[in-house]
């Protein structure tokens, strides 16, 4: 569709602008559109799940659930039903229904894993939920009942992320040491291992990096893994990298650099059906990039450096809008002084951007 576009045409067609911003006083890990695009669900470090209406010019919180006991970092939204799935740092996985401005518990498994459940992914056909955990195991679940189906081992490190193939029969997981494993969802048999070890380093006593994001191409022929090539520990510096692993055997694997060492991690990758990738990077406080990259090009055709500390993307069902989860600039850290006797914490603006042109009447 866009293969023959010039860079100028791509920018004219797809350079996004902020349509509205979800303002909050909490720090979120992820924000995802619901299946119909009418709401956004956020999860974060205060152990809450929040439901926001996006119909107004300024999104409004309409429901909150605080039943989790730890950081909520896993979030999967059902593609056809009013349900969301969440997981936390204490090993709990839960399911909620959102209706009538409420988040109603459906089921909860407080002993789903022996540690932090970092990520969740729901199969595109909605039949299986997969969880990725710090305990180095992957489990599959019945999303309707919360009953465990299988637990698979063999990853060899803390598992950071999981993603489903479009066929809903296979999935991939990525871990702290740059291992990417592609499996059959029913048997757990490993179909192929991919080497993304460049995304990992040991700096003195510190393990640095790991696979931060995974996603398949929409045709299922390519698996993308994002992270960075670490230069050091502590305040990590490193080149943001995306690996593309071919599943067909018809072309070589590739690597794409998306910035300099101060940009650090590729935190999230999303595929647009028109033929380009949306990616966000962050690492150093106050620095973050949103990038749009057409497949086959050497460089992104669009880069936005004004969205600080970007760490998640959610594409609206209409494919004309998307949400970017960020963190406030000047975020407080260790040793920062109090302001008027109070500790000023970080918060996470969620920006809803659109590819549509600004309304001329509003512009004038």
Q: Answer whether 22's CB lies under 8 Å from 363's CB.
A: no
Alpha helices in the chain (DSSP H): 7-14, 360-363
Half-sphere exposure (CA, 13 Å, Cβ side) for 112?
36
Q: Cα(216)–Cα(48) distance, rounded to whole angstroms?
A: 29
> Does 89 map to a domain?
yes
> How large a percentage of the chain has pLDDT more than 70?
95
> Does 100 map to a domain?
yes
pLDDT reported for residue 156? 85
Average pLDDT over all residues of the chain: 92
Q: What is the pLDDT of residues 212-262, one digit of tens each?
A: 999 999 999 999 999 999 988 888 899 999 999 999 988 888 999 999 999
- Report long-range pairs for 64-71 (Cβ below 8 Å, ≥24 apart): 64/103, 65/96, 65/103, 65/105, 67/94, 67/105, 67/108, 68/92, 68/94, 70/116, 71/29, 71/44, 71/45, 71/47, 71/116
pLDDT reported for residue 333? 55
pLDDT reported for residue 364? 34
Q: Which residues contact 128 (CB under 8 A, 6 or more apart)?
A: 122, 140, 141, 142, 143, 149, 168, 185
pLDDT reported for residue 242? 97
CATH (domain of 170): 2.130.10.10
Q: First vs last Cα of the chain: how many Å apart?
A: 33
Kindly give the confidence (pLDDT) of every residue in the chain, 364 residues in length, as a single tens digit, with 9 standing for 90 and above.
799 999 999 999 999 999 999 998 889 999 999 999 999 999 999 999 999 999 888 899 999 999 999 999 999 999 999 999 999 999 999 999 998 889 999 999 999 999 999 999 999 999 999 999 999 999 999 999 999 999 999 888 999 999 999 999 999 999 999 999 999 999 999 999 999 999 999 887 788 899 999 999 999 999 999 999 998 888 889 999 999 999 998 888 899 999 999 999 999 999 999 999 999 999 887 889 999 999 989 999 999 999 989 999 999 999 999 999 999 876 555 556 667 777 667 889 999 999 998 874 344 3
User: Is the pTM here over 0.75, yes or no?
Assistant: yes
Strand duo 321-325 + 312-315: pairing? antiparallel
- When divided into structural domains, the chain yields a total of 1
> Does 363 map to a domain?
no
pLDDT reported for residue 336? 62
Max intra-chain CA distance, the chain = 62
Element at 353 (helix H, strand E)? strand 350-354
pLDDT reported for residue 332? 55
Q: Cα(213)–Cα(190) distance, rounded to whole angstroms?
A: 20
Q: Answer whether 97's CB lies under 8 Å from 54's CB.
A: no
Q: Cα(343)–Cα(355) distance, rounded to whole angstroms?
A: 38
C-alpha closest to that of 155 among 140, 170, 175, 172: 175
> Does 135 map to a domain?
yes
Q: Answer whether 136's CB lies under 8 Å from 155's CB.
A: yes
* Cross-strand pairs, 315: 322
Q: Answer whether 62's CB lies under 8 Å from 99's CB.
A: no
Q: Answer whether 176's CB lies under 8 Å from 132's CB.
A: no
Give the domain range for residue 29. Answer: 7-328+349-357
Q: Token pair of 121, please?
A: 């992914």
> Does 75 map to a domain?
yes
Q: Cα(183)–Cα(193) distance, rounded to whole angstroms?
A: 9
Q: What is the pLDDT of residues 346-356, one digit of tens each?
A: 889 999 999 99
Q: Cα(279)–Cα(266) distance, rounded to whole angstroms?
A: 7
> Does 98 map to a domain?
yes
Q: Cα(43)–Cα(334) distance, rounded to whole angstroms?
A: 23
Strands ordered across the beta sheet of 148-152: 117-122, 129-133, 138-141, 148-152
Half-sphere exposure (CA, 13 Å, Cβ side) for 250?
3
Q: What is the pLDDT of residues 172-206, one digit of tens each?
A: 999 999 999 999 999 999 999 999 999 999 887 78
Q: Cα(262)–Cα(11) distance, rounded to whole angstroms?
A: 25
**DSSP 8-state assignment for residue 334:** T
Please provide the size of the chain in residues: 364
> Does 362 map to a domain?
no
**Burial annotation 279-316 (CB, 10 A radius, 16+ → b, else e):** bbbbbebebbbbbbbbeeeeebbbebeebbbbbbbbbb
pLDDT reported for residue 140? 98
pLDDT reported for residue 265? 95
> Does 344 map to a domain?
no
């Amino acid at each position: 569709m866009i293969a023959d576009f010039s860079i100028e045409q791509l920018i004219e067609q797809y350079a996004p602008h902020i349509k509205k911003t979800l303002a909050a006083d909490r720090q979120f890990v992820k924000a995802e559109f619901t299946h119909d695009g009418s709401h956004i669900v956020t999860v974060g470090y205060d152990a809450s799940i929040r439901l926001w209406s996006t119909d107004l010019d300024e999104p409004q919180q309409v429901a909150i659930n605080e039943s989790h006991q730890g950081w909520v970092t896993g979030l999967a939204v059902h593609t056809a039903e009013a349900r969301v799935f969440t997981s936390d740092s204490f090993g709990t996985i839960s399911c909620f229904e959102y209706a009538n401005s409420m988040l109603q518990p459906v089921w909860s498994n407080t002993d789903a894993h022996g540690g932090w459940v970092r990520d969740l992914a729901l199969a595109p056909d909605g039949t299986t939920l997969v969880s990725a955990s710090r305990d180095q195991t992957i489990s599959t679940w019945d999303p309707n009942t919360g009953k465990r189906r299988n637990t698979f081992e063999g990853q060899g490190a803390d598992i950071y992320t999981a993603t489903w193939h479009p066929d809903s029969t296979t999935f991939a997981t990525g871990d702290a040491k740059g291992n990417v494993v592609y499996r059959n969802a029913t048997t757990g048999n490993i179909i192929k291992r991919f080497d993304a070890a460049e995304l990992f380093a040991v700096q003195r006593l510190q393990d640095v990096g790991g696979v931060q994001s995974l996603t398949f191409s929409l045709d299922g022929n390519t698996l993308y893994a994002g992270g960075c090539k670490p230069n050091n520990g502590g305040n990590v510096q490193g080149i943001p990298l995306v690996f593309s692993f071919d599943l067909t055997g018809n072309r070589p694997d590739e690597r794409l650099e998306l910035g300099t060492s101060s940009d650090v991690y590729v935190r999230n990758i999303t595929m647009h059906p028109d033929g380009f990738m949306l990616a966000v990077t962050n690492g150093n406080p106050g620095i973050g990039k949103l990038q749009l990259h057409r497949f086959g090009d050497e460089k992104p055709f669009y880069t936005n450096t004004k969205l600080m500390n970007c760490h998640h993307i959610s594409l609206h069902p209409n494919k004309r809008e998307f949400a970017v989860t960020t963190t406030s600039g000047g975020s407080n850290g260790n040793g920062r002084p109090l302001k008027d006797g109070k500790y000023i914490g970080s918060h996470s603006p969620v920006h809803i951007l659109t590819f549509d042109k600004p309304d001329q009447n509003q512009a004038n």
